[in-house]
Amino acid sequence: MPSFHYRARDKQGALITGFLDAPDSTQLEASLDKMGLIPISITSKAPSTGLIDNLNKLLQNKVPQQEIILFSRQLATLFGAGVPLTRSLYTLERQIESPVFKAVVKKIREAVEGGGSFSGSLKAHPKVFPELYSNMVEAGEAGGILESVLDRLAFMLEKNAENRAKVKSATLYPKIVLGAIAMAVVVLMNFVVPKFAKLYATFKVELPLPTRILIILSDAFASYWYIAAFIAASFFFGLRFYLTTESGKYNRDKFSLKVPVFGPLLLKSVLSRFSRVLASLYKSGLPILQSLDIVSRAVENKLIEAEIKLIEDNVRAGKPISEPMSASRNFPPMVVQMVTVGEDTGNLDEMLEKTAEYYDREVDATIRNLTTLLEPILLAFIFGIVLFLALAIFLPMWDILKIVRR
């Protein structure tokens, strides 16, 4: 997607500059308008901008998540203590270790000192601060609750990082086992099976089907590995390209919710994020339609995003949130009931927070038991491979022994 350099002014008249990716300049103008910015000039960024710029662009995607969490938490503390925003940003800027993130915070501070809003300055760096972050900050500025909004953002980021770390830890053992099996199969195909194939060829006996399949696979692996590598690489890059398309993302997210063990875990995580983000936005004073629009992009699942968009359309038509939500297969009755009670009592944010806490506990429990849940699948997979190899190698031996005895 092309990158454009823009110069714009915010509602206070402050000059904001930066780079944004967009299909064309018209789409970029629409994006700037949503950000509350008035474009002055838009120029296409040259494809090659030099080694330093390319490295900076690459590194900008590599700002450690922990740095953003720490930044949010410390900024909330300083701002809550009465330290002016610009002074708080300057203090944090000197403490940041990541050079890329330090440069980003410096630009944000300079923009705020120039009269720009904090949220508008964040929106100029969407690769570091996503739309959810800047929109919640904007709501916090409008409602005078910036401190609590920053605390909520830090909590959500911490929770996401914690869950990712737990999943990586829980899946480490299965990854090691699968890696060992893959290495064992490669060794068998290259060294063991060819020797058995030569041995069996000296006997005029019909080989069992598993043995014939194994020998064919071994010959193909030894003689045509480059073709297999080409097919695998083509499939990998083709799939990777397809997953960058809208239909690819939608089908990937739809399939991911149906994967055993991981599908239910992902759905619980999505429901937790949906409930917590919607509660935070609603509590921050944002209109419900704008909150739903932001939440739809924050859940990071195209299938759920489409369903939230449908809920948004129904709410715009005058219906309560719970009514279209009850028609969805991915929103359990418990979520619908909590939202219904929240709408009826006027405590929607409180009910959503309780729902988020419930699913946080469910996610934690599932992650703790993830290794236990994966063990039956892993054992069945290992048993199937070992059984196939054992039958393929030893069945012909029994036939040969029968011939020798005769």
- Per the structure block, which two tokens stand in for 194? 């060819």
More confident residue, 394 or 324: 324
Measured CA to CA in angstroms, residue 199 lies from 15, 195, 370 at distances of: 80, 6, 44
Q: Are 266 and 364 found together in one domain?
A: yes
0.85 surpassed by pTM: no
More confident residue, 199 or 110: 110
Q: Percentage helix, strand, coil, to 5, in the chain?
A: 75, 5, 20
**Average pLDDT, stretch 333-354?**
91
pLDDT tens figures, 61-85? 468 888 888 888 888 888 888 888 8
Q: Are 42 and 67 found together in one domain?
A: no
**Average pLDDT, stretch 14-19?**
66
Q: Are 322 and 277 found together in one domain?
A: yes
Cα angle, residue 305 at apex, residues 304 and 308 outer, rounded to 5°:
85
Q: Are 356 and 266 found together in one domain?
A: yes
| Residue 124 lies inside a defined structural domain of this protein | yes
Whether residue 35 contacts residue 126, with contact meaning beta carbons closer than 8 Å, is answered with no
| Residue 402 lies inside a defined structural domain of this protein | no
Q: Are 36 and 74 found together in one domain?
A: no
Task: Quote the number of domains for the chain.
Answer: 3
| Residue 330 lies inside a defined structural domain of this protein | yes
Q: Are 136 and 82 found together in one domain?
A: yes
**Which residues, including other chains, have CB under 8 Å from residue 170's CB and lie 6 or more apart?**
367, 368, 370, 371
Task: Enumerate the H helices of 35-64 as residue ranges.
Answer: 50-60
**Closest-CA residue to 263 (of 183, 138, 366):** 366
pLDDT tens figures, 128-164? 888 778 877 877 777 677 888 888 888 878 887 887 8
Q: Tell me 21's DSSP state.
A: E
Q: Are 287 and 350 found together in one domain?
A: yes
**Average pLDDT, stretch 256-274?**
89
**Closest-CA residue to 210 (of 399, 67, 395):** 395
Strands of 15-21's sheet in order across: 15-21, 3-9, 38-44
Residue 39 backbone zone (phi > 0: left; psi -120 to 50: alpha; other: beta): beta
Q: Are 93 and 118 found together in one domain?
A: yes
Domain boundary among 127, 150, 173: 150
Whether residue 171 contacts residue 151, with contact meaning beta carbons closer than 8 Å, is answered with no
DSSP string, 349-375: HHHHHHHHHHHHHHHHHHHHTHHHHHH
| Residue 245 lies inside a defined structural domain of this protein | no
Whether residue 1 contacts residue 21, with contact meaning beta carbons closer than 8 Å, is answered with yes
pLDDT tens figures, 161-217? 887 888 888 788 888 888 888 888 888 888 888 888 887 777 766 788 888 888 888
The mean pLDDT value of the chain amounts to 82
Q: Tell me 127's DSSP state.
A: T
Q: How far apart are CA 300 and CA 273, in angstroms?
A: 9
- Per the structure block, which two tokens stand in for 280? 């935070």
Any idea which of 18-27, 124-133, 242-251, 299-308 has the lowest mean pLDDT? 18-27
Domain boundary among 103, 125, 150: 150
Q: How many CB atoms lie within 10 A of CB 239?
A: 11
Q: Which H or E run contains 15?
A: strand 15-21
| Residue 10 lies inside a defined structural domain of this protein | yes
| Residue 395 lies inside a defined structural domain of this protein | no
pLDDT tens figures, 28-42? 677 777 667 777 777
| Residue 206 lies inside a defined structural domain of this protein | no
| Residue 80 lies inside a defined structural domain of this protein | yes
Q: Are 354 and 319 found together in one domain?
A: yes
More confident residue, 296 or 3: 296
Q: Are 94 and 11 found together in one domain?
A: no
CATH of the domain at 143: 1.20.81.30
Any idea which of 171-180, 233-242, 324-333, 392-401 has the lowest mean pLDDT? 392-401
Range of the domain at 120: 63-150
Give yes or no for residue 118 having a pLDDT over 50.
yes
Q: Are 302 and 347 found together in one domain?
A: yes
- Name, of 51-55, 87-91, 199-203, the range with top average pLDDT: 87-91
Sign of CA dihedral 139, 141, 106, 96: negative
Whether residue 31 contacts residue 16, with contact meaning beta carbons closer than 8 Å, is answered with no
Determine the pLDDT at residue 54: 46
Sign of CA dihedral 301, 269, 133, 316: positive
**Average pLDDT, stretch 334-356?**
91
Q: Are 16 and 88 found together in one domain?
A: no
pLDDT tens figures, 271-282? 988 998 888 878
Q: Which H or E run contains 115?
A: none
Q: Which residue has the tokens 């710029």?
A: 53
- Per the structure block, which two tokens stand in for 343? 């709408």
Give yes or no for residue 400 having a pLDDT over 60.
yes
49 pLDDT tier (thresholds 50, 70, 90):
very low
Give yes or no for residue 402 having a pLDDT over 80.
no
Q: How far apart are CA 92 and CA 106, in angstroms?
A: 10
Determine the pLDDT at residue 14: 60
